[in-house]
Amino acid sequence: MKKLLLLGDIHANYPALKAIDNYIHPDGFDLIINTGDFTVYSTFPNETIQWFRERKKTICILGNTDRRILRILKGKKLRKPKKQEKRIMYFWTSENLLPKNAAYLKSLPAQNDFIIDSIHIGLFHGTREDADEELFPNAPESRFQKLAKGSPYHVQIMGHSHVPYHKIVEGVHFINPGSVGRMFDGDPRASFAILKISAGTIAVEHFRISYPVEAVVKDLKIHQLPDVYSKMFQKGKKLN
């Protein structure tokens, strides 16, 4: 049996990532998967990226926040987001990101795929058709059917919507582990999933665990960043 730890949408929330590390002992997994968005909205982008850089058995891709950070670092204009309180978080991250961690982000693809015991897995931030698509579990069944039709993948792992789910449509497993660092459902606990593959069978289990939210809030205040983000982490809700 192969065990894969599924993570995503960490958003520089290293205290949440570290809580998962302490809870699940990731080094015991065959692979650690990250659906992207290492950065922005919390103040620990370097610690978050370093955690992945220190591990050999990882498959990671870029998320939309990561792509925007790279755009800033290239000296290009940031078209989105428009809200100033969001833009502050992007520019703070780009100014504080260490060169070695920026280089790591630059090395990552926008999507990836791999095979585990004859199970073909696709890894996307949004969907295989659109890296910025937010695919929710209550999306029309026809949308999942379209993504399944002609898909070379037995499993499609996605992030971006911050909503954990596992759906099987037209024989394709659609898995979102939820957000490690920035949940929107009113439950601030970190979300992640474990994928088990054994003799062609696929099993998925989702988890929610507590982490020291106040450590995130404290650091946001130290760096005098918009207070709305402290409230978001405390409430587990999107407020802007």
Q: Which of 64, 95, 44 is nearest to 217 (CA)?
A: 44
Asked if residue 188 has pLDDT above 90, the reply is: yes
108-111 contacts at long range (C-beta below 8 A, 24 or more positions apart)? 108/60, 108/61, 108/62, 108/66, 109/61, 109/62, 110/61, 110/62, 110/67, 111/61
Over the stretch 55-98, which tens digit does the pLDDT of each residue have? 989 999 999 999 999 999 999 988 889 899 999 999 999 999 99
Q: How many helices (H) and strands (E) does the chain have?
A: 8, 10
Give CA angle at 107 (103, 110), nearest 5°.
130
Over the stretch 96-122, which tens digit does the pLDDT of each residue have? 999 999 999 999 999 999 999 999 999
Question: What does the pLDDT read at residue 240?
Answer: 85
Asked if residue 200 has pLDDT above 90, the reply is: no
Asked if residue 214 has pLDDT above 90, the reply is: yes
Q: Which of 221, 238, 96, 113 is nearest to 179 (CA)?
A: 238
Domain ranges of the chain: 2-109+178-235
Q: How far apart are CA 84 and CA 6, in angstroms?
A: 32
CATH fold for domain 2-109+178-235: Purple Acid Phosphatase; chain A, domain 2 (3.60.21)
By three-state DSSP, how is residue 153 classified?
coil
Cis-peptide into 109, omega within 30 deg? no
Question: What does the pLDDT read at residue 80?
Answer: 86
